[in-house]
Amino acid sequence: MNNNKEKGILAKAQAWWSDYFHVLALAFRRMGRDNINIMASGMVYSTLIALVPTVTFLFFILSAFGALDSFIAFLIHFLSDNLMVENAEDLVAALKSYTGNAMSLGIVGFVTFAITSILLVNKAYTVINRIFRTSPRTSTLRRFTTFLTFLVVLAFLILLLVAIQSKIAGSVRSAIGYAERSKTIWENLVLVGSIWGILFSLIKFLPNAKIRKTSASIGATSGMVAIIISSAVFTFFINTSVNYSIIYGSLASILFALLYFYILWYLIMMSAEIAYVHQFRPDKGLIKGHPESPLSQITEGINLVLLVSDRYKSGGGAMNERELVRKLAVPQSRLYGYINCLEDGGIIMSVNNNHTAFIPSRPLDRIYLKEIIQVLYGLENKMNEDISTVGEAIAIELASRGVKDMENLNVENLLERV
Q: What percent of the chain has pLDDT over 90?
A: 9
DSSP tag of 354: T
pLDDT for position 64: 73
273, 34 contact by CB (below 8 A)? yes
410, 368 contact by CB (below 8 A)? yes
Q: What mean pLDDT comes out for the span 201-205?
A: 85
Position 85 pLDDT exceeds 50: no
Dihedral, CA of residue 225, residue 231, residue 237 and residue 242, to nearest 10: -170
pLDDT for position 126: 84
Position 307 pLDDT exceeds 80: yes
Q: How confident is the model at residue 266 (pLDDT cuts 50, 70, 90)?
A: very high
Greater confidence, 159 or 318? 318
Q: What mean pLDDT comes out for the span 177-184?
A: 54
Report for 6-10, 126-130, 287-291: range of highest mean pLDDT:
126-130
191, 81 contact by CB (below 8 A)? no
Q: What mean pLDDT comes out for the span 54-69?
A: 73
Give the burial class of 315: count Cβ atoms within 10 A of its Cβ; 0-12 exposed, 13-18 middle, 19 or more buried. Answer: exposed
Q: What mean pLDDT comes out for the span 118-134?
A: 83
Per-residue burial over 40-58, b if 16 or more Cβ lie within 10 Å, else e, is bbebbebbeebbbbbbbbb
pLDDT for position 289: 47
Position 170 pLDDT exceeds 60: no
Cα separation, 384 vs 379, whole angstroms: 9
Q: Give the rounded distance of the alpha carbon of 273 from its chain centre.
A: 5
Q: Give the rounded distance of the alpha carbon of 309 from its chain centre.
A: 31
pLDDT for position 141: 72
pLDDT for position 224: 92
- Long-range pairs of 41-48 with CB within 8 A, sequence gap ≥ 24: 41/262, 42/123, 42/127, 43/123, 43/124, 43/127, 43/261, 43/265, 44/258, 44/261, 44/262, 44/265, 46/119, 46/120, 46/123, 47/120, 47/261, 47/265, 48/258, 48/261
The DSSP element (H or E) to which 117 belongs, if any, is: helix 107-131
| The domain made up of 294-417 is a member of CATH 1.10.10.10 | yes
Q: DSSP strand E in 286-374: where?
A: 319-320, 348-350, 357-360
pLDDT for position 84: 46
| Count of C-beta atoms within a 10 Å radius of residue 37 | 16
Q: Which of 50-64, 172-186, 207-221, 374-388 has the lowest mean pLDDT?
A: 172-186
pLDDT for position 304: 92
Q: What percent of the chain has pLDDT over 70?
A: 67
275, 215 contact by CB (below 8 A)? yes
Position 269 pLDDT exceeds 80: yes
Cα separation, 188 vs 194, whole angstroms: 10
pLDDT for position 174: 56
Greater confidence, 387 or 329? 329
In angstroms and rounded to an integer, the radius of gyration of the C-alpha atoms of the chain is 28
Q: What mean pLDDT comes out for the span 192-210?
A: 84
pLDDT for position 232: 82
From first CA to last CA, the distance across the chain in angstroms is 70
Mean of pLDDT over the chain: 76
Q: How confident is the model at residue 77 (pLDDT cuts 50, 70, 90)?
A: low
Phi, psi of 121 (to 5 degrees): -65, -40
What is the chain's length?
418
pLDDT digits (tens, 9 = 90+) for 210-248: 888 999 999 999 999 999 898 888 877 776 665 555 555
Q: How confident is the model at residue 168 (pLDDT cuts 50, 70, 90)?
A: low
pLDDT for position 81: 58
pLDDT for position 218: 93
Cα separation, 379 vs 391, whole angstroms: 14
Cα separation, 230 vs 264, whole angstroms: 9
Angle between helices 369-377 and 390-402 (to 10 degrees): 160
Domain ranges of the chain: 36-281, 294-417
The DSSP element (H or E) to which 83 belongs, if any, is: none
Position 61 pLDDT exceeds 60: yes
Q: Which amino acid is at 230?
A: S
Position 270 pLDDT exceeds 90: yes
Position 370 pLDDT exceeds 50: yes
